[in-house]
A and B are shown apart, each in its own frame.
Chain A
Amino acid sequence: MLNVSGVSVQYGEAVALDRVDLTVNRGEIVAVLGPSGSGKTSLLRAIAGLEPVTTGEIVWDDEPVTHLPAHRRGFGLMFQDHALFSHHDVIGNVEFGLRMQDDRSPPDRRSRARAVLDLVGMAGYDHRRVDQLSGGEQQRVALARALAPSPRLLMLDEPLASVDRERREHLAAELHRIIRAAGTPTLLVTHDLDEAFTLADVVVVLDGGRVLQRGPAPKVWRAPNSIVVARFLGVTTKLRLPVVAGSAATPWGMVTAPPNATTAWVGFRAADLRVDPDGPVGGTVRTVWFRRDHYLVELDTADGPMTVTSSRPPAVGDRVQVRADLEAAVILDA
């Protein structure tokens, strides 16, 4: 397993990573989630051995790899822009890492490369030129190339960023299947919530070079540990409520406040607040956005502004009622 402890990366004065701790266990898919400039790519490059760390240790099982050059770490990386070798065809790209292993015979290399190409659904593409492939196909070849030498750890940099929107969901599922089938512990970095939460078992939220939260994906999604993380994870409506006897009163009912809190911060994602004639809270429609399968509505209410969903478009200025899924509320100490 990978153990990163206290790793910092500095570029001159600028601190890209600040004492980051991270673990990837066997068979685990870990997503590092953060906005642009959060340091996630630096983290990936540091683990890969492409960026020297200023302080800290990177250990694989019991072997320190902090100062091992990239080519001796046995980690695989799928670059965001794939960085396929344009002077090789598809099979040549996939075989590259196998050729670097001296103990493999050419037929052995070929059959292993074919097996990996088959795994990623690119069987029969052996002699196609890589620059003639679509974005999704290139991504599969890049994944096959990274997997072929059987890396101890697979790293993915924004794996779905260069795939068009319609194909992303499908490819995310595919990627998940392939990684599971390969059984390689995987670390991916992304700024995309969908990518992180559909692919990963464990999510690590990174911002400003620091780890803000880590945990199993559903838990992080349900219970962000800070307001910053909650906002980053899509919480758009927030209420500040006084705590009385350990509870806070929302318009939709009581919630349990964090211990010792005097004011509770209660947040909702838009999907958990719905326009409903029987809802207890009323508001005036300020803006309406069309979102393919639903409408996103911004309201002004007595409890402050809210962002809610609606199946039908209300008119601006209408009075509407709102219902909440109280179970999904994010409750923090304000």
Chain B
Amino acid sequence: MDFAVDRARPPLARRRRLRGGRALLVGVPLAFLGVFFLWPVVAILGRGFTVRGSLDLSPIGDVLRDASLRHVLWFTIEQAAISTLATLAIALPATAVLSRYRFRGRGLLVAVLTMPFVLPTVVVATAFRSLGVQGSLGAIVIAHTFFNVAVVVRIVGSTWRGLGRAEEDAARVLGASPLRTFVTVTLPALRPAIIAAASIVFLFCFTSFGVILILGGPQFATLETEIYRQTAQLLDLRTAAALSVVQLAAVVSALVVAGTMTGRAQRVSRPAAPRRLPVGRRARLLPAAGVLPALLLVAIPSLDLLRQSFADHAYGYTHLGTLPLGAPETSAVALLNSLRIAAVATLMAVLLGLALATAVTRPGRGDRLARAAQSLVVLPLGVSAVTVGFGFLIVFDAPPVDLRTSWWIIPIAHALVALPFVVRATVTVLRAIDPRQREAAALLGAPPWRVWREIDLRSIRRAAAVAAGFAFAISLGEFGATLFIVRPDTTTVPVAIYRFLSRPGATNVDQAMALAAILMVITGLVALVGERSGRTDSAF
């Protein structure tokens, strides 16, 4: 057999083995997803499409006929579109500089620009509010841009850095100017990545909840906040379900676009080495100007939140344990809750995620099962937290699975939100393992589980640690789903911040600021540590 041909084909022997373990590896996570994700989604669809057990499209029709709800839908699309364009405008120049040049502090700059992605929405909204940016479309757009610069830097950046320089050099030698080269060679190669990034940014802005709720105020409602209002304030579950169906449809179409484009934005095998920055102060002006807007946008609100929390609102820190949040809880209790929930959610997400990633990357009986599992896993990534929360609310409040009063419902929801990130981060690493390494280990006498421990686990340890940090940060900051299912004794920090902010009085603002600053520092540290230790672009 020709060697090159052999390499392309997954060895048959490995397909035959591992069947029992495989079933368990796929089965447990799939069961988890089935119960805690598919079932709630199906329940929402059921409520949206049926009236008293028979198919009826009238709830959806009612929603689409209602002028104020139509306005909500329109505003959701409008703010997401504007936010996406603003994000691209700010992030693309920075991405260009970060992926073309190497310079001291580049890694730190990437970490700083990508850190906002894990920051809790509630914290960021608080930060912008303290800057006086609130109650307008502009405030919403700026906050969304703050978050999503990270998405563009990661997705477009990894493709950009992977681009071979040879094509650009060829164009230059053939007589194209640098600008012409960029337009005719570089940009077309980047287009799939840019579209993929844009559709994910759009998706995140479309399903944004905390930012809209806190910065938008009552006059700026999107589908997400409207679902919450209909459920929590108007108790109109029927309309909420119908809105969720509209929401799901929009989300799935955006995901499809992103998925197709991500598939096309494959990296080139041998990337060009980044160049040094041009020498001379004037020549460096352009790269600096490319990064600066993004850097300022990210740095100002974060630093100002810290400054203000200590300067004007220091009262909050000293009274974490005394000021009642809702008798008898205090902020200190919420902090403790959040940490405990995050620990459990992280454990669940990492264990389930590793099992799924292993199952998906071991070529098995028909790769169809693996593919199905993987696409099922990334679904919760797009389906909004509010949908998850709403789904939990309508499914798990009655037998057969009554989790209404259970502490576990919150870590489960958080694990569900974090799971896709864990799978994405670890699958990339597992895919990159040369199958010959596993074969070599087997030939040296390692049984299958030992091969997994010696080869897979070793390569994945870092990615798993990064993913765990990420999951921890996600859980700490999760707001949308939690708000639906939270109970007085399970109040988390983001929920507490929201409660304090919606009450009048300076001491409440102090408390919110202190909690937001604490949460920001914890999640920021987790993200920075992850970025430094893992040095992967795997989460995105």
Contacts and interface: CB of A to CB of B under 8 A. Distances in A.
B3 interface: yes
Nearest to A46: B13
Contacts of A158: 3
Contacts of B459: 87
A96 B454 CA distance: 9
Given A50-B11, A85-B440, A87-B459, A71 B1 contact: no
Centre residue among A72, A79, A83 by max chain B CB count within 10 A: A83
A71 B446 contact: yes
Interface in B375-408: none
Interface of A is mostly: loop
Given A36-B2, A37-B5, A96 B444 contact: yes
A186 interface: no
Interface string A238-275: 00000000000000000000000000000000000000
Contact of B17 (A69, A75, A146): A69
A73 B442 CA distance: 10
Interface string B431-463: 000101101111111111011001100110000
Interface string A12-56: 000010000000000000000000111111100100111110000
Contacts of B441: 71, 85, 96
B285 interface: no
Interface string B1-45: 111011001011110110000000000000000000000000000
Interface string A271-287: 00000000000000000
Interface residues of B, number: 31
Centre residue among B16, B436, B450 by max chain A CB count within 10 A: B436
A117 to B, nearest CB: 16
Contacts of A45: 6, 11, 13
A69 B449 CA distance: 13
A70 B439 contact: yes
Given A41-B1, A87-B459, A97 B445 contact: yes
Q: How large is the interface on A (under 10, 10 to 19, 20 to 34, 35 or more residues)?
A: 35 or more
A87 B458 contact: yes
Contacts of A100: 444-446, 450
Given A49-B13, A69-B17, A81-B436, A42 B442 contact: no
Centre residue among B5, B13, B448 by max chain A CB count within 10 A: B13
Contacts of B9: 11
A21 B488 CA distance: 75
A300 B445 CA distance: 58
Contact of A71 (B2, B5, B447, B458): B447
A149 B445 contact: yes
A122 B424 CA distance: 40
Nearest to A34: B1
Contacts of A96: 441, 444, 446, 454
Contacts of A36: 2-3
A124 interface: no
B86 to A, nearest CB: 43
B11 A149 contact: no
A74 interface: yes
Interface in A91-147: 96-97, 100-101, 145-146
Contacts of B451: 71
A159 interface: no
A307 B6 CA distance: 35
A38 B441 CA distance: 26
A75 B442 CA distance: 10
A36 to B, nearest CB: 4
A172 B6 CA distance: 25
B164 to A, nearest CB: 23
A223 to B, nearest CB: 28
Given A80-B3, A87-B459, A145-B444, A52 B12 contact: yes
Given A11-B9, A50-B11, A52-B12, A83 B440 contact: yes
B443 A77 contact: yes
A75 B443 contact: yes
Contacts of A40: 1
Centre residue among B1, B5, B436, B458 by max chain A CB count within 10 A: B1
A40 B6 CA distance: 11
B255 to A, nearest CB: 34
B442 A51 contact: no
A74 B445 contact: yes
A122 to B, nearest CB: 18
Nearest to A95: B444
Contacts of B5: 37
Contact of B6 (A38, A42, A52, A75): A42
B445 A50 contact: no
A36 B203 CA distance: 50
Given A50-B13, A50-B439, A83-B434, A101 B445 contact: yes
Nearest to B434: A83
Nearest to A71: B442
A76 B3 contact: no
Contacts of A11: 9, 12
Interface string A158-172: 100000000000000
Contacts of B442: 49-50, 69-71
B443 A70 contact: yes
A42 B6 CA distance: 8
Contacts of A75: 443
A322 B445 CA distance: 58
Given A42-B6, A70-B443, A96-B444, A79 B436 contact: yes
Contact of A83 (B16, B437, B448): B437
Contacts of B437: 83, 85
A71 B12 contact: no
Contacts of B6: 41-42, 45
Nearest to A42: B1
Interface of A: 11, 16, 36-42, 45, 48-52, 69-77, 79-81, 83-85, 87, 96-97, 100-101, 145-146, 149, 158
Given A71-B450, A79-B439, 7 more contacts: A45-B11, A45-B13, A49-B443, A52-B13, A69-B17, A76-B443, A145-B440
Interface of B: 1-3, 5-6, 9, 11-14, 16-17, 434, 436-437, 439-448, 450-451, 454-455, 458-459
15 contacts: A11-B9, A11-B12, A36-B2, A37-B2, A42-B1, A45-B13, A50-B11, A50-B14, A69-B447, A71-B442, A74-B445, A75-B443, A85-B440, A85-B455, A96-B444
Which 8 pairs between the two chains have the least Cβ-Cβ distance?
A97-B444, A100-B445, A83-B436, A70-B442, A36-B2, A41-B1, A42-B1, A83-B440
